[in-house]
Amino acid sequence: MSLRSLADAAGVRVGTAVTASPLRSEPRYRRTLVTEFNSVTAENEMKWERLHPDPDRWTTDDADLIATTAHDHGMDVRGHTLFWPHLATPDWVTQCTTRTDMLTAVADHCRGAFTRYGDTVARWDVINEPMHWLEGRLADQSWLSVIGPAWPLDVFRVAAETAAELDAAPELWLNVTHADVLSDKQALCIELAQQLLAAGLPLHGIGLQTHCLVPDFIPELPTPEHLAAVVRSVTSLGIEAAITEMDMLADPSPDGLDEQGTHYRELVAAALENPRLTEVTFWGFTDAHTWITEHFGQRAPLLFDEHYQPKPAYEGVADALRHRASLVATEETAT
């Protein structure tokens, strides 16, 4: 049984980041994608600098390929991402000097993205990584200095108002990094969500990236109990949670890959115990195509090996999805 059919049975999305180039050139990349997943996230192709590099120019071929492929195969698309203060924002935006100019650029960008992808993108990561990478404070790029200390609220409000004007109704999400392991980031993320909700803004959910970059970037994995508690801190606000970018550095020996499989199983199962966690997306699916190689070397982070063979990590995730399906079945019998 594929991950996709297990996820369908469990009523959740199992997703992957996807890139346009192997989708064009490698039949087995496309085959594995459409067989194993029911949701996709463009790895880079829907980021601002790729989609809308100049104020009046949109370059959408790659993003369109991803959106059309998903549509043709009945898969959801998570739009990633409208705004990302750390990276992938064109200079003409970061060089705005007034709040009005920057928020006008934000509104134009939303208008174009919602218009182009109204039929295909079900949910957008409105702001990706609003916080500093490793500290519990807001990212301090030009967004903070130009728009002001409440910039995430201001930007989210413009996105929500633009969607309403267009009668578009994508789900609007925040996407955060390392809140699964750093408690000050978790606290700020919850505070931000509370502020958005208190302002009456339609925050649909919070994506937890869950890049497991141990030991190179973070000292240790979250325990399954801790991850479940972080997910609960989100869902207890009355909104959804998702795992949006999971990958995991491993020692590529057989024992290392078994250990990785165990961690994948335990962490994904712990997250999926929560009925308001609706999606688990991985940041790619084959070790042949992963951002990890460039940044951390050959670390076998994904569910399929370089030859598209399933690894223990795949079996771990399949077990976790089966577990969720069994929880759903038990609930249905009880009601």
Where do contacts with ligand XIL occur on this chain (CB under 6 A)?
A: 43-44, 128, 209, 245, 291
If the CB atoms of residues 44 and 195 are measured against ligand XIL, the closer one turns out to be 44
**Smallest separation, CB 121 to ligand XIL (Å):** 15
**Smallest separation, CB 44 to ligand XIL (Å):** 5
If the CB atoms of residues 136 and 275 are measured against ligand XIL, the closer one turns out to be 136
If the CB atoms of residues 159 and 318 are measured against ligand XIL, the closer one turns out to be 159
**Smallest separation, CB 56 to ligand XIL (Å):** 25
If the CB atoms of residues 85 and 312 are measured against ligand XIL, the closer one turns out to be 85
Nearest to 179 by CA among 136, 146, 140: 136
Query: Could you give the CA distance from residue 75 to residue 126 in angstroms, rounded to a whole number?
Result: 20
**Smallest separation, CB 291 to ligand XIL (Å):** 3
If the CB atoms of residues 21 and 262 are measured against ligand XIL, the closer one turns out to be 21
**Smallest separation, CB 99 to ligand XIL (Å):** 25
**Smallest separation, CB 79 to ligand XIL (Å):** 12
Query: Could you give the CA distance from residue 129 to residue 131 in angstroms, rounded to a whole number?
Result: 5
If the CB atoms of residues 58 and 217 are measured against ligand XIL, the closer one turns out to be 217
**Smallest separation, CB 43 to ligand XIL (Å):** 5
**Smallest separation, CB 326 to ligand XIL (Å):** 32
What's the gap between Cα 15 and its chain centre? 9
If the CB atoms of residues 2 and 44 are measured against ligand XIL, the closer one turns out to be 44
If the CB atoms of residues 130 and 312 are measured against ligand XIL, the closer one turns out to be 130
Query: Could you give the CA distance from residue 240 to residue 306 in angstroms, rounded to a whole number?
Result: 33
Nearest to 182 by CA among 142, 235, 129: 129
Closest residue by beta carbon to ligand XIL: 291
Q: What is the CA radius of gyration of the chain?
A: 19
- Report the largest interatomic distance among the alpha carbons of the chain, rounded to a whole angstrom: 59
Residue that the structure tokens 């997250």 belong to: 271
